[in-house]
Amino acid sequence: MSLDPDPPAELVPSERATGPGGGDMDPEAFRDAAHRVVDLLADYLASVEGRAVFPPIEPGSIAPRFPAAPPERGEPLDAILADVERLIIPNLTHWQHPGFFAYFSTTASGPGILGELLTAGLGQNPMLWRTSPVGTELEGVVVDWLRQALGLPDTFDGLITDTASTSSLTALAAAREAAGLDVAARGLSGRDFDAPRVYASEQAHSSIEKACMTLGLGRASVVKIPTDVDYEMDVVALERAIADDRAAGRTPVAIVATIGTTSSTAVDPVDAIAPIAERERLWLHVDAAYAGPVALIPERRAAFAGWERADSIVFNPHKWLFVPFDASVLLTRRMDALHRAFSLHPEYLRTLDRTSPVRDYNEYQPQLGRRFRALKLWIHLRWFGLEGLRRRIDRHIDMAQAFASWIDDAPDWERLAPVPFSTVCFRWDPGGLGGAELDARNTAIMDAVNRTGEVFLSHTRLANRFTIRLSVGNLRTEPRHVERAWRLLRDAAAAA
Ligand SMILES: Cc1ncc(COP(=O)(O)O)c(C=O)c1O
């Protein structure tokens, strides 16, 4: 019997570009299609400012516009790309928009997008050195470039993950091993140590709690340390909490300090926390997911004092370093502890390099398969250069500081937190209103501004006050966009 069945009498449209063998898209057809996709993206990036940052779409209104069942026969690329323009692009929230001031921005830079394209096309999986020799070694190079750029000592090694959530989970799993709990081997159930404890400020990101939920430590293990008026961790309260736990026979494991909290970008005093971690022999993890890139600028490193004493640090190039989502970097002085937490050698991974000392990154993190994220980082860093990145981050800080000064100078507006980086927390407060009424008016102002589609602001609660946040971090944002946000806010307040 022949392995090649007779070609079907009529090829389906997609196979006209493939041939009847059922293989991949023909390389020439791919070349043509890829050019069209790049054209589409270039047009999108050129026009993104003219779109509403988030279009007025009702939840559940998109899925019914797609076929409920998958296509039985392949479809021509023309039809697929037409649907990208018809169904995908109009239903996006435009993170690439210069008026995106919500949450923390993530920009996909041009060089980063090209890096993503190459990453997909080269089809690497640097789970073992052998499965992607350059994927593995370039990751080491890029992590070390970033370490140097941040001004950290060469005792820090590290790896690239998808998100800060994964980086922090990985760090806390290592902290659990470093605390001698031997959970990787023996698990937690029926063990004779009492109540592991992880200390983080009440302003720490929810990913810390989620990591503890996932690692079996439980939400109960997270001790939320109070913060001061500037939302920075109260170090005296931290020391007291650790002492109380030790006295009660509990098992302190780690301290998580945040440089740039999610709500207000507060900076926990790491230089005061590090000696406590050292004295108490606790793992110190620093969450600098958003603010980390500011340390590229030597004159702005004061906020990072003491972070070189941490056991691990996370920062996200996909936030304020403009690398396309996803890219998080976990730096650590304790790769050995990560290895203890995650190393396994199943037989099917021992085909090659059984004896030579290679780095297999899968042994330092929860999952086996990994993306070749170092490639886009390498391209991105080379294209911008550290000088180019510093200049852009500096401009963002300047824009946020200008916005903060307008708030400070306006009698009916109030700033609700310090602005150490590029995020401003504020509200409208004409006096005479309070509590729920003032919250409702500020909600209405924010909603009205967002409905214009020109900018996107998000909110938080600080000291139980509805707080509007404006966070500058998009590569396309210029002073005129921040000025426009301020105009829209004042107009909405006048109408409130
Ligand atoms: C301080 C901080 N840590 C962690 C995270 C989680 O980041 P990711 O989405 O990469 O998991 C965020 C997200 O905004 C954050 O602000």
How far apart are the CA of 258 and the centre of ligand 1, in A? 11
The tens digit of pLDDT for each residue in 431-477 reads 988 899 999 999 999 999 999 999 999 999 999 999 999 999 999 99
- For a mutational test of ligand 1's pocket, the pick from 160, 227, 262, i.e. the residue with the most ligand atoms closer than 8 A to its C-beta, is 262
> How remote is the CA of residue 292 from the centroid of ligand 1, in Å?
12
Cα separation, 479 vs 145, whole angstroms? 31
Are the CB atoms for 175 and 197 separated by under 8 Å? no
Residues 322 and 112: beta-carbon distance below 8 Å: yes
Q: Percentage of the chain with pLDDT > 90?
A: 88
Q: At 339, list the tokens.
A: 């290895």
Collapsing DSSP to helix, strand or coil, 479 comes out as helix
472, 439, 467, 438: which is closest to 455 by C-alpha?
A: 472
Contact indicator for 318, 106 with CB cutoff of 8 Å: yes
- In order, the DSSP letters of 60-111 are TSSGGGS-SS--SS---HHHHHHHIIIIIGGG---TTSTTB-SSS-----HH
State the Rg of the chain over Cα: 25
- pTM confidence score: 0.95
Of 290, 323, 325, the residue with max ligand 1 atoms within 8 A of its CB, to mutate for a pocket test, comes to: 290
Spacing, Cα 200 to ligand 1 middle (Å): 14
Q: Do residues 91 and 62 lie in contact, with contact meaning Cβ atoms separated by under 8 Å?
A: yes
Query: Ligand 1: distance of its center to the CA of 167 in Å?
Result: 10
| Index of the ligand 1 atom closest to the CA of residue 166 | 11
**Nearest atom (ligand 1) to Cα of 288:** 1
**Torsion of the alpha carbons at 479, 484, 486 and 492, rounded to the nearest 10:** -170
The residue behind tokens 């993530």 is 106
28 CA to centre of ligand 1 in angstroms: 41
Question: What's the longest Cα–Cα distance across the chain?
Answer: 89
- What is the distance in A from the centroid of ligand 1 to the CA of 158? 18
pLDDT in tens, 284-296: 999 999 999 999 9
* Nearest atom within ligand 1 for CA of residue 261: 1
Nearest to 312, CA basis, from 333, 294, 328, 343: 333
Q: What is the pLDDT along the chain (496 residues), one digit of tens a residue?
A: 556 555 555 555 565 556 556 789 999 999 999 999 999 999 999 999 999 999 889 999 999 999 999 999 999 999 999 999 999 999 999 999 999 999 999 999 999 999 999 999 999 999 999 999 999 999 999 999 999 999 999 999 999 999 999 999 999 999 999 999 889 999 988 776 678 999 999 999 999 999 999 999 999 999 999 999 999 999 999 999 999 999 999 999 999 999 999 999 999 999 999 999 999 999 999 999 999 999 999 999 999 999 999 999 999 999 999 999 999 999 999 999 999 999 998 988 888 776 678 999 999 999 999 999 999 999 999 999 999 999 999 999 999 999 999 999 999 999 999 999 999 999 999 998 889 999 999 999 999 999 999 999 999 999 999 999 999 999 999 999 999 999 999 999 999 8
To test the ligand 1 pocket, which listed residue (206, 207, 330, 373) has its Cβ within 8 A of the most ligand atoms?
A: 207
pLDDT, tens digit, for every residue of 391-418?
Answer: 999 999 999 999 999 999 999 999 999 9
Which among 161, 165, 227, 318 is the best mutation to test ligand 1's pocket, defined by most ligand atoms within 8 Å of the CB?
165
Cα separation, 104 vs 269, in Å, equals 22
The residues lining ligand 1, judged by C-beta closer than 6 Å to any ligand atom, are 104, 163-165, 205, 207, 258, 260-262, 287, 289-290, 316, 328
How many angstroms separate the alpha carbon of residue 321 from the centre of ligand 1? 14
Q: How far is CA 37 from the centre of its chain?
A: 26
CA of 316 from ligand 1 middle (Å) equals 8
Strand partners, 496: none
CA of 368 to the centre of ligand 1 (A): 23
Residue 26, token pair as written in the block: 């023909």
Nearest ligand 1 atom to the CA of 165 is: 11
